[in-house]
Structure 1
Amino acid sequence: MTDVEITDVQATQVDADWTWTFVRIYTDDGATGTGECYWGPGVADIVRDSKEWLVGEDPRDVGPLVHRLYEIHSATGSLAGATVSAISGIDIALHDLTGKLEDQPAYRLLGGKYRDEARIYVDCHAGAHLGGAFEGAKQEEHDRDIYSPESYADAAEMVVEEGHDAIKFDLDASKRYEKDRHNRHLNAEAIDYKSSVVQAVTERVGHDADVAFDCHWNYAGDSARRLAAAVEEYDVWWLEDVVPPENLQVQREVTRATDTTICAGENVFRSHGARDMIEQQGVDVFQPDMPKFGGMAETVKAAQMASDYYIPLALHNVSSPLGTVAGAHVGAASPNFLALEWHGRDDPDWETFVEEDSVIEDGAVPLSDDPGLGVTLDLDAVEEHMKPGETLLDPAP
């Protein structure tokens, strides 16, 4: 192929199921690449500020370009946070663009695929978020106590009946029996309640689905250990983010103290930030959020590191269909991949953000051999949900 140069870099943000930041890179031969990064104040501005260092460069030099951006943006904190999220979106757009230029799917640029599809797990939040889907007396019973173990179990059964075999619930959604949320302590009554939710859900679905439970970093080390011990007898796929993310030593001790599978990682950035967690085996399942972790190549790099320690990879994901497909490419290219989160079940507009009919089939994201990511952002949907003050991306030529 003849030389090709980047001519423009644009970004815009929308408010939908989540706040999504879309990135598009343009070239002098008409090819474009589109990416997505995690939300946050200033993320889109950092993407736009990166334009001056990308224009005139060959987009196929993905690694060197991303490396340079980390060096240039070091003053804004290139170890973590908004800067890394912004560069993650640029990285995804560069992989999409390079795939189109080279007529290769993105997963092949990452080293090739270990599987033809990426299994998803459905974020069900809690039973409360599935209200309105039942009928008659069942709905009345559900509405009386939306956080009862039975409501959680009803919701689990409903999602499994929709054809999904991997689900996740928020175990911290109800604060009942918690006396003071600031001290992160769970008394015996609170642990009994949470374990009863786990019991109800896992027994209802049996082996029809793997079931994980998210705690959103809410509990102290002692409470986390007691909660993990209380649910050891049930078929818990993993218990996620049971302690705050700042202290790896506490995370490691909780993991080592229980037979319950412990999962964490969405609040670490880049392979450097994940290294100690992996090398010290502070988790049983490593769970980065690819569109804020550092992008596609960086996540595969960290996944390979986790694979050296025989630690499985689950991808946290609150992305649009475009970012979800990008995550599927990463999952396909990672030997230790378990599943990719789907956060859009409750959003009727989720699928409208790409032009393809559906990116999820039979509980998985199938991967095609189409160049780049293989999906096209729908600018009509972007415009409809665009945040005030944002500018619509230019269409691809």
Structure 2
Amino acid sequence: MGIDYRGLRDPNAEYTMRDLAAESMGVTADRGGGRDVEITDVQTTMVDGNFPWTLVRVYTDAGIVGTGEAYWGAGAPELIERMAPFLVGENPLDIDRLTEHLIQRMSGEGSIGGVTVTAISGIEIALHDITGKILEVPAYQLLGGKYRDAVRVYCDCHTETEGGAGPPDGKPTGEDPPAADPIAVAEEAERVVSDLGYDALKFDLDVPSGHEKDRANRHLRNAEIAHKKAIVEAVTEAVGHRADVAFDCHWSFSGDSAKRLARALEQYDVWWLEDPVPPENHDVQREVTRSTSTPIAAGENVYRTHGQRRLLEEGAVDIVAPDLPKVGGMRETVKIADLADLYYVPVAMHNVSSPVATVASVHVGAAISNALAVEFHSYELDWWDDLVSETVIEEGYIEVPEQPGLGVTLDMDAVEAHMVEGEELFDEV
């Protein structure tokens, strides 16, 4: 009977259970059936983009380095540093086993959700980059091949007249933010389509209308709904059939208000209405989705396949929107897409990342049948694509890289120029 020594490594021990198992079978210390490569280090650097992007690098004794990215937010670099000893000495080709190993070892840190999952996601993406380079195949090939050569990008757009979302607790903070101007929003939609070449857009709909009385209760007055309807009407009429347009609510409204808003938008060509209600109560999410013919999207704020399961099984979404470097990584997103496909639900990947996780999402978008698009959230950041050597977005699409791994190369000068204050640059290979 074989000995299962996986996950038993003590990073501080010179002689491990793996060595004992190998000797008992009459072989030398195991590196995974002759695959002569081991992880030697894991490092992070945070870049100050429109979000604080956590870039991850996994180093090997073969001189091959993989790059990944964890969803933005405090705590991920510290968690990744704590997980590094669980990876050092392991074979990076064992992506699934190492990911599950980290989830189990970090269970006390809440590894079913939250920042622990996002930290693991960054490592998992880097492991795909390493594995693709070792095997000399693009990352999508590790996921089963590709359905498409280019993946559509939808551009998350903003205008100066959108104002702020207002105080979440309903308390006054001085002057009220200006009401979003439907005409200005429509003009920005026209500019992004005509000048930047995108045929898929998204705008925020949780914007000031000038009619708010108390944002804390999540209730939309009729005048607020009329204002949001005016934005949707102006934008969809401006771009017509040249672009699909989605609208994001950022979990802002009550169940009844979300239903009334969605019904008010049924006459317009809305690609989807995103996150109209808070993410915790799937029952309310299901009721809102079933109450309207306006397509409803959600999924950004739940973790791993387990978190998406009820949304899909109960018909609580028309479109599922996982965020790859947040939800669990590349293979976890494929699992979510496969589950969604059982219910004939398409996947629109939420994405607020640097080029690294954006391209990781593109590899997944190539490998799944039901991909709609991948989000791009940094069109106002003129140095976004300077972080990598390759051209990423062209005319609203990203060509699926054919180079081994993710197919993007960090420009270390650009990374250093935009690091969060106090961060250190990655080690040289």
CA contact (8 A) 1:85 1:292 kept: yes
2:373 is paired with a residue whose SS is strand
Distance 1:53 1:146 in 2: 51
Counterpart of 1:108 (choices 141, 152, 170) is: 141
Please list the CA deviations of residues 304-332 of structure 1 after superposition, one character each: whole Å capped at 9, or x if unmatched.
00011000000000000111111100111
1:323 alignment counterpart: 357
1:183 alignment counterpart: 217
Distance 1:198 1:81 in 2: 33
1:247 alignment counterpart: 281
Q: Is the aligned partner of 1:302 residue 2:309? A: no
Structure 1's 87 and 365: CA in aligned 2 closer, same or farther, altered over 3 A? same
Distance 1:74 1:183 in 2: 35
Please list the CA deviations of residues 155-179 of structure 1 after superposition, one character each: whole Å capped at 9, or x if unmatched.
1100010211000000112242121
Calculate the TM-score normalised by the size of structure 2. 0.87
Counterpart of 1:282 (choices 296, 303, 316) is: 316
Please list the CA deviations of residues 229-263 of structure 1 after superposition, one character each: whole Å capped at 9, or x if unmatched.
00100000000010011100000000000000000
CA contact (8 A) 1:17 1:350 kept: no
Counterpart of 1:375 (choices 395, 408, 411) is: 408
2:106 is paired with a residue whose SS is helix
Aligned AA (2:115):
A
1:51 alignment counterpart: 84
CA contact (8 A) 1:325 1:373 kept: yes
CA contact (8 A) 1:126 1:170 kept: no
* Number of equivalences: 381
Please list the CA deviations of residues 142-162 of structure 1 after superposition, one character each: whole Å capped at 9, or x if unmatched.
xxx872111111011000102
Distance 1:16 1:351 in 2: 11
Structure 1's 7 and 129: CA in aligned 2 closer, same or farther, altered over 3 A? farther
CA contact (8 A) 1:211 1:236 kept: yes
Distance 1:274 1:57 in 2: 30
1:117, CA displacement in angstroms?
A: 1.0
1:138 alignment counterpart: none
Q: Is the aligned partner of 1:205 residue 2:239? A: yes
CA contact (8 A) 1:43 1:83 kept: yes
Aligned AA (2:201):
I
1:388, CA displacement in angstroms?
A: 2.5
CA RMSD, Structure 1 to Structure 2 (Å): 1.3
1:2, CA displacement in angstroms?
A: 4.3
1:314 alignment counterpart: 348
1:392 alignment counterpart: 425
Please list the CA deviations of residues 25-82 of structure 1 after superposition, one character each: whole Å capped at 9, or x if unmatched.
0111100100001112210111111111111111000000000000000000001111
Q: Is the aligned partner of 1:99 residue 2:132? A: yes
The equivalences for 1:211-360 within 5 A come to 211-356=245-390, 358-360=391-393
5+ residue gaps in structure 2?
1-33, 164-177
1:94, CA displacement in angstroms?
A: 0.1
Larger radius of gyration: 2
Distance 2:205 2:348 in 1: 18
Counterpart of 2:157 (choices 101, 108, 124) is: 124
1:141 alignment counterpart: none
2:40 is paired with a residue whose SS is strand
CA contact (8 A) 2:132 2:406 kept: yes
1:29 alignment counterpart: 62
Distance 2:97 2:35 in 1: 19
1:50 is paired with a residue whose SS is helix
Distance 1:105 1:56 in 2: 24
1:172 alignment counterpart: 206
CA contact (8 A) 1:311 1:336 kept: yes
Calculate the TM-score normalised by the size of structure 1. 0.94
Distance 1:94 1:262 in 2: 33
1:127, CA displacement in angstroms?
A: 5.5
CA contact (8 A) 2:162 2:180 kept: no
CA contact (8 A) 1:22 1:89 kept: yes
Aligned AA (1:156):
A
1:392, CA displacement in angstroms?
A: 1.1
Distance 2:403 2:409 in 1: 11
Larger RCO, structure (CA 8 Å, separation 6 or more): 1
5+ residue gaps in structure 1?
131-144
Q: Is the aligned partner of 1:65 residue 2:65? A: no
- Identity over aligned pairs, percent: 57
CA contact (8 A) 1:127 1:146 kept: no
